[in-house]
Chains A and B, each alone.
Chain A
Amino acid sequence: MSSREKTWWWIGGLLIVVYCLFPIAWIVSLSFKAPSDIANGQFLPSQFTWRNYSDIFTGTASDLFLPALRNSFGICLIATAISCILAMFAAYAIARLDFPGKTLILSTALGVAIFPVISIVTPLFNVWRQIGLYDTWLGLIIPYLSLTLPISIWTMSAFFREIPWEMEQAAQVDGATTWQAFRKVIVPLAAPGVFTTAIIAFFIAWNDFVYGISLTSTSASRPVPAALGLFSGASQFEDPTTVTAAAAVVVTIPVVVLVLLFQRRIVAGLTNGAVKG
């Protein structure tokens, strides 16, 4: 590549970074605006304030925000854990064993992944109210599995196919017991795939909005995305925009941290599952 060409690709890369980060920068900037700045028509605040963050953590909005944050973390982590455990067994069977129904399981996962969430919510809303699962953690964890389980099976099967399973036998030939061979050889090989799958499943659960607003009504189980639409200002005369922006920034921090730490794996997981030659 000539140095001129290099400069062009470099500029192209820079444009992508700006494209990706611009709306995030905007909402961060908005979250630092004082009430007097909300309508100033500018990108940046004229005076910088932490007050929106103190509002959501200790102030008037904390009753709404903190329980929602706890619910989101709890529900998403449990749903992710359950689907990863179920998917681990399924993916092992799909990658290693020869049995009829492999294709059926993978196509079912695909079918569930494209299933319109609203079509699940409508009946669940009615049934959950009758059996007392409405507005509970379990009432969200169960439907969340419809989001996390298919992608987990899909992604993990793709990862497990790449594992050189012969190494297990090789270790046994070298004198390792079955358990040792599994723990010392297979677990380290499979762990990155399981871990990456867990991150992707967590992203998807964290992103849910439809279940969150439809199947909850109080802070007992309402997750953050559903709570984001409900913020009001410190008084009814105050614009809730900046407080909402601060809450939006806080829920974005966990996913950004995961992306920065594990970007290479996440890309492999996303593309392995969907496109593979």
Chain B
Amino acid sequence: MSTTTLPPTEKTQPVSAPPGGLSDRLKAERRLGWLLAGPAFFVMLAVTAYPILQATYDSLFSYRLTDPANRSFVGLSNYGVILTDPLWWQALGVTLLITFVTVAVELLLGFALALVMAKALSSIRPVVRAAILIPYAVITVVSALAWQFAFDINTGFVNSWFAWLPGVGTDTDWFGGWGSSIFVICIAEIWKTTPFISLLLLAGLAQVPEVLQEAAKVDGATWMQRMFRVTIPNMKAAIMVALLFRTLDAFRIFDSIFIMTNGANNTESVSFLAYRQTIARLEIGLGSAVSVLLFIAVVLIAGIFIKGFKVDLSQARGDR
């Protein structure tokens, strides 16, 4: 398929230091750079690298908080326990399902919203922009509660509003089964995060050079052709960045599940499993092992995106 893109612009390389060592000025600049950025860098490492190392260490022990005397080194057997337990595979499956469904729907819906916003008349644009930020800014717990109460068999209005649909009646218990629970969780997630994707895609749309659109129009390309041959290829970077961030975010899903089902009916996600092992059951060893596995999964997903799909973050970030 042929696509229309502008040739990549040459990056101007900074003038390199003269050969034969750095000048004093350059050295001083380097020192100042680390002096200013160092504290932030150190704090970031301290709040993430230290905990994950501690978790890795803890995961090698059989350690229950209520029974500290029997703490013993067990090597990798915690991982063995988890990876042979259907509970883990169930949680991983649920997490992957929710991630896939929500991100796919969000991408399509977000693209539609971005197109409307790009075309929205200037008179209503501020209203639309303010509205679209509301779901982003509302806390996840509130969004989960709103959707839970809406679908709830006692407090909700969904059953009486949609009673005309086959399979829905006043006695439909959405949180009584696996499929319908996942459905409502996905709706809540999609509602909350689509606006963020649409803002990223809107920024991407704005980067598509107008000249290319005009040229394609003059050449007689239809709307669909312009969309798939001009617009989308030219905003690939924005699409990939939105996908990467949302996928990783969706994979960590916790709040909505905690509020809406509390893991009932096999709706537990990987994050929820780690939480339940550690905080509720006080199984520090097992919980830590789940945390480490979750971390590895996130790293793998990020790796697949960055290497496999060649998401160029420096391009996305605007490094010039």
Q: Which residue of A lies closest to B42 (CB)?
A: A86
Rounded to whole Å, the gap between the CB of A226 and the closest CB of chain B is 8
Nearest CB of chain A from residue B191's CB, rounded to whole Å: 6
A93 touches B36 (CB 8 A): yes
Q: Is the interface of B mostly helix, strand, loop or mixed?
A: helix
Please provide the chain B residues from 264 to 320 with a CB less than 8 Å away from any CB of chain A in the complex.
Answer: 271, 274-275, 278-279, 284, 287-288, 290-292, 294-295, 298, 302, 313-314, 316-318, 320
* Residues from chain B with Cβ under 8 Å of A30 in the complex: 149, 155
Q: How far is the CB of A147 from chain B (nearest CB, A)?
A: 9
**B142 pairs with A256, CB closer than 8 A:** no
Could you say which residues of chain A place their CB within 8 Å of the CB of B159? 41
Contacts between chains A and B (CB distance < 8 A), count: 318
Q: Judge whether A116 and B146 touch: CB under 8 Å.
A: no
Query: B37–A209 contact, CB under 8 A?
Result: no
B interface, size bucket: 35 or more
Find the A residue at minimum CB distance from B59. A122
CB-nearest residue of chain A relative to B31? A99
Which parts of B240-276 form the interface with A (CB within 8 Å)? 241-242, 245, 248-249, 251-252, 254-255, 258-259, 271, 274-275
* Interface contact B141-A229, CB-CB below 8 Å: yes
In the bound assembly, the distance between CA atoms of A40 and B255 in angstroms comes to 28
CA distance A149 to B47 in the complex (A): 10
Q: Are B132 and A16 in contact (CB under 8 A)?
A: yes
B204 to chain A, nearest CB (A): 6
Q: In chain B, residues 105-149, which have Cβ atoms closer than 8 Å to a Cβ of chain A?
A: 113, 116-117, 119-121, 124-143, 145-147, 149
Nearest-neighbour CB distance to chain A for B200, whole angstroms, equals 5
Query: Across the interface, which residues of B come within 8 angstroms of A123, CB to CB?
Result: 51-52, 54-55, 58, 288, 291
The chain B residue sitting closest to A44, CB to CB, is B157
Residue in A closest to B120 when the chains form the complex, CB atoms: A13
* B44 within 8 Å of A (CB atoms): yes
Whether, in the assembled complex, A234 has its beta carbon less than 8 Å from a beta carbon of chain B, the answer is: no
B140 in contact with A207 (CB, 8 Å): yes
A-B contact pairs, 9 of them (CB 8 A): A9-B116, A9-B121, A111-B48, A118-B271, A120-B48, A122-B288, A209-B258, A210-B254, A255-B138
Write the residues of chain A forming the contact surface with B, with a CB cutoff of 8 angstroms.
Answer: 6, 9-10, 12-17, 19-21, 23-24, 26-27, 30, 38-39, 41-43, 86-87, 89-90, 92-94, 97-112, 114-127, 142-143, 145-146, 149-150, 153-154, 158, 161, 203, 206-207, 209-210, 213-214, 225, 228-229, 239, 241, 244-245, 248, 251-252, 255-256, 258-260, 263-264, 266-267, 270-272, 274-277
Q: Which 10 A-B pairs have the closest CB atoms?
A: A276-B318, A99-B33, A271-B203, A123-B54, A90-B40, A41-B160, A12-B116, A93-B36, A255-B137, A90-B37
Which B residues have a C-beta under 8 Å from some C-beta of A? 14, 26, 29-30, 32-34, 36-37, 39-41, 43-45, 47-48, 51-52, 54-55, 58, 65, 113, 116-117, 119-121, 124-143, 145-147, 149-150, 152, 154-157, 159-161, 170, 191, 195-196, 199-200, 202-204, 207, 237-238, 241-242, 245, 248-249, 251-252, 254-255, 258-259, 271, 274-275, 278-279, 284, 287-288, 290-292, 294-295, 298, 302, 313-314, 316-318, 320
